[in-house]
Amino acid sequence: MLRVAVVGSGPSGCYTAQSLVQQDPDVLVDVLDRLPCPYGLVRYGVAPDHEKIKSLQGNLRAVLEDDRVRFLGGVLVGGPAGPDVARLRELYHAVVYCVGAATDRHLGIPGEGLPGSWSATEFVAWYSAHPDAADAGFLRDARSAVVIGVGNVAVDVTRMLARGAAELSPTDMPQDALTTLTASRVSEVLMVGRRGPSQARFTTKELRELGGLPGTDVGVDPAELAMDPAYTDPSGLPAPQRRNLEVLRGWAAREPGNAARRIGLRFFLRPVELLGDGGRVAAVRFERTAPDGRGGVTGTGRFETVEAQLVLRSVGYRGVPLAGLPFDPAGGTVPNERGRVLRDGVARPGEYVAGWIKRGPTGVIGTNRPCAKETVAALLADAPTLLRRELPRDPAQALRAEGIEPVEWAGWQAIERAEAELGARLGRHVVKLADWRSLLAAARTAGS
Ligand SMILES: Cc1cc2nc3c(=O)[nH]c(=O)nc-3n(C[C@H](O)[C@H](O)[C@H](O)COP(=O)(O)OP(=O)(O)OC[C@H]3O[C@@H](n4cnc5c(N)ncnc54)[C@H](O)[C@@H]3O)c2cc1C
Ligand SMILES: NC(=O)c1ccc[n+]([C@@H]2O[C@H](COP(=O)([O-])OP(=O)(O)OC[C@H]3O[C@@H](n4cnc5c(N)ncnc54)[C@H](OP(=O)(O)O)[C@@H]3O)[C@@H](O)[C@H]2O)c1
């Protein structure tokens, strides 16, 4: 009987577990996560106002509730109090690392470290109630914000800055973040791309939503759009980019409105410096860029300064190395061949990767399903070799004997109950617990 550990309970971990139980009638799968809560970025990344996407948690739940799958939360693999990579290899026939991309990329420009300049990753983690997130005082004294990057995460954080109480209260956002966001005095949010509108990474559905936010105008400068050769002749563009340009064209033609909040989209501006005042960020200095004819841009030597008391860089997530696993610092991924981990360029049966740590930090939830399937195909092809090894005993018992006390499924269900109770007390629906102490205290009630 094949015993597999899946490290990470985000989409790639859950799809890996699902693919394993679907294809091997005898396999037993433990899904370990460093958090006591499952679902990875579906719980801690997908925007709280996107309830439909959040509801995908229901599909992932069904996987973790399978009889042959066991959730072991609160187990940090490679951490001081958790099993290391070598120990997991002893306890299981195979280990699949689905640990995602936990950190963010930097701009590498002066002033980036000023208070008031944060990564979208930090901001998202805060409003999503990640227990490691801190309230950095994101909105302190902020009246205007600049979001650097034009991907879907940039759209998410821009939208969250423009949402009002009526739209945020029904979400499961933690109470402190709700209070802060609904008291926000930010009246202008600029989302800025270093290349042209036809090269923006956001998808049309997400872009279009910005144009329908209550109490918010959206604006785009027609002259900036026209700098993109594809704007005047979009015939060579793939359909999704053509649709984006259509949305932007519609906005460019709108009369300026007088709503309390305004979202602006800017293009062909590359950030070169964050300027401070009184020890906090006060403005962003951009260089105007121009298309280079090869899909990139060149600097023009002309500069523009935009006032902002809040700057969120949303320029991509980044994988972090896990002690004992090889790591490619260039891509922030674990070197692999169709999911098999490569050590010194050689695939070793028994160690695998799936999801963002395998491919890099791009792709929607569904992209992780075929990615996990490919990895599971490699693992099951190796199974005859892997099964030659006798395993000591139930891995969870072994972990307990070593002082590691996982939060099992009942513990997670107790957290869910506590979040529903908190919501009821606050006159809201479900409200997430945002700190380790509350999460672990709630999980412990499962045993009482
Ligand atoms: C802000 C944001 C919003 C998004 N919104 C959408 C959306 O609306 N729709 C959509 O389709 N896609 C969305 N995506 C993309 C989607 O979330 C990803 O494709 C997906 O989550 C990647 O899955 P993953 O399993 O590789 O990583 P993750 O979801 O990050 O899961 C990794 C898991 O591994 C655990 N882990 C990490 N290290 C360890 C360790 N050492 N030991 C134990 N456990 C560990 C983590 O706690 C986490 O639970 C969004 C992404 C971001 C960043
Ligand atoms: N609703 C949804 O479906 C949803 C929501 C959120 C996230 N996601 C998915 O999650 C994945 C990650 O999204 P993401 O937004 O983090 O990444 P992304 O799509 O890769 O976008 C990153 C953005 O940052 C810009 N950028 C990178 N380096 C920069 C620099 N030094 N200076 C200025 N700009 C820079 C990029 O511009 P260049 O193109 O010029 O490099 C790009 O606009 C994506 O696949 C996304 O679709 C989906």
Beta bridge partners of 331: none
**CA 172, CA 56: separation in Å to the nearest integer?**
15
pLDDT score at 392: 84
Give the closest residue (by CA) to ligand 1 atom 27. Answer: 100
Beta carbon of 312 within 6 Å of any ligand 1 atom:
no
Is residue 2 within 8 A of residue 30, CB to CB? The reply is: no
Using alpha carbons only, how large is the chain's radius of gyration in Å?
A: 23
Say whether 77 counts as a known binding-site residue. yes
Query: Sign of dihedral through CA atoms 131, 137, 143, 145?
Result: negative
Q: Which of the four CATH numbers 3.50.50.60, 3.30.70.20, 1.10.274.50, 3.40.50.720 does domain 105-316 have?
A: 3.50.50.60
Best of 128, 152, 206 for a ligand 2 pocket test (most atoms within 8 Å of beta carbon): 152
* Residues facing 29 on adjacent strands: 4, 69
pLDDT under 50 in the chain at which residues?
none
Retrieve residue 274's tokens: 């964050």
Q: Is 333 in the pocket of ligand 1 (CB under 6 A)?
A: no
Fold classification of 3-102+319-407 is Rossmann fold (3.40.50)
Ligand 1 touching residue 45 (CB < 6 A): yes
Sketch the domain layout of the chain as residue ranges: 3-102+319-407, 105-316
Listed residue (68, 52, 15, 66) closest to 205, CA to CA: 52
pLDDT at 393: 83
Query: Is residue 424 in contact with ligand 1, taking CB distance under 6 Å?
Result: no
Nearest ligand, CA of residue 207?
2
Backbone angles phi, psi at 353, to 5 degrees: -135, 155
346 is in an annotated binding site: no
Q: Which amino acid is at 6?
A: V
* CA 231 – ligand 1 centroid, Å: 34
**In the block, which residue shows the tokens 């280990």?**
95
The Cα-based distances of 336 to 12, 176, 340, 360 in angstroms read: 15, 41, 5, 12
pLDDT, tens digit (0-9, with 9 covering 90-100), for 360-380: 999 999 999 999 999 999 999
Distance, in Å, from the CA atom of 192 to the CA atom of 194, rounded to the nearest integer, reads 7
pLDDT of residue 447: 74
**CA atoms of 191 and 228, how far apart (whole Å):** 17
Q: Which of 6, 50, 99 to mutate to test the pocket of ligand 1 (most atoms within 8 A of CB)?
A: 99
How many CB atoms are located within 10 Å of the residue 329 CB?
A: 9
Please indicate whether the domains covering 3-102+319-407 and 105-316 agree at the CATH topology level. no
Residue that has been written with the tokens 């209260």 in this structure: 169
So what's the pLDDT on residue 348?
86
